[in-house]
Amino acid sequence: MTSPDAPAKQRQRGRPKLIPDDAQRRMIADCARELFLERGYGRTTTEEVAARCRISKHTLYRLFPGKPALFAAIVDVHRHSMLALPGDYDGLPLDRALERIFQIDIDPEADRQRVALLRLVLLEAHQSPELGDIVRRHGADKSRAELADWLAARAKTEAMVIDHFDSAARILMDMIFGAVAFKTADHLNWPGDDDRNAHIRRCIAIFLCGVRPR
């Protein structure tokens, strides 16, 4: 004879597991990034993203109103692969701290992913102008503000002459990310990662030489 408790237990086992919205957003952003890199931003539909994530279109649109919001979430998630701030670098000399912040020795797979994302933006920004605006608002502007704040904090304890921290952060980011972006063009690849990293270290040395008092 079946126990009276059996139906309740069966219903409990069959109840779908609820995923918090934040975790589901991250999962959807990861799926969308994979699709965008595989197929391109312009050729990927929200229906394909929903299918890859195994969710309904209703759930997708509840969390993201469209592809621009999806791409903004991807930039938010992966922004720290470009600039590792905030972080605790107080015990490091300035050059070593900046090497850590700009992740010169990033894991090869993580480096491949950040370069692929840069490549996507460079290749498709002319067809989808919103991509450049999203990268600026959700990535570059936030990262530059964090770097400017970090420089301002270090200037209180280090001998640096910087009259405009936001401008200094922009200059340093242009120097270093120019070297990273250089890898996004197939015919302009660095001979090897060691060559690129040596170049980035020289960029840091030149920047520090410019801001240290004479």
Go through the domains of the chain in sequence order and give each one's CATH number: 6-76 (1.10.357.10), 79-211 (1.10.357)
CB neighbour burial string for 112-124, b if at least 16 within 10 angstroms, e if fewer? ebbbebbbbbeeb
- Which whole number is the average pLDDT over 191-212? 83
- Which whole number is the average pLDDT over 21-49? 93
Instruction: Assess whether pLDDT exceeds 80 at residue 7.
Output: no
At 62 the pLDDT is 94
Span of 37-46, 95-104, 175-184 with lowest mean pLDDT = 175-184
DSSP conformational letter for 79: G
At 46 the pLDDT is 93
d(CA 104, CA 82): 10
Query: Confidence band (pLDDT; 50, 70, 90) for 128?
Result: very high
Q: What is the dihedral of CA 67, 71, 74, 75, to 10 degrees?
A: -160
- Exposed / middle / buried, residue 63 (Cβ in 10 Å: 0-12, 13-18, 19+): middle
At 109 the pLDDT is 85
At 73 the pLDDT is 94
Instruction: Assess whether pLDDT exceeds 60 at residue 12.
Output: no
Structure tokens at 145: 């503000």
Q: Which residues lie closer than 8 Å to 101 by C-beta, 6 or more apart?
A: 83, 84, 85, 87, 89, 147, 150
Structure tokens at 172: 């340093």
Structure tokens at 41: 């931003």
If we measure between CA atoms, which residue out of 122, 124, 214 comes closest to residue 177?
122
Alpha helices (H) in 54-164, listed in sequence order: 57-63, 67-78, 94-101, 108-124, 130-135, 141-155
Q: What is the dihedral of CA 138, 141, 145, 147, to 10 degrees?
A: 90
Q: Which of 125-129, 149-153, 173-177, 184-188 has the highest mean pLDDT?
A: 149-153
Instruction: Assess whether pLDDT exceeds 50 at residue 70.
Output: yes
- Which whole number is the average pLDDT over 121-146? 92
Q: Which of 11-25, 111-125, 186-200 has the highest mean pLDDT?
A: 111-125
Query: Confidence band (pLDDT; 50, 70, 90) for 29?
Result: very high
What distance lies between CA 139 and its chain's CA centroid? Answer: 7
Query: Confidence band (pLDDT; 50, 70, 90) for 110?
Result: confident
**Coil, strand, or helix at residue 185?**
coil
Neighbours of 82 (CB within 10 A): 23
Neighbours of 203 (CB within 10 A): 20
At 11 the pLDDT is 47
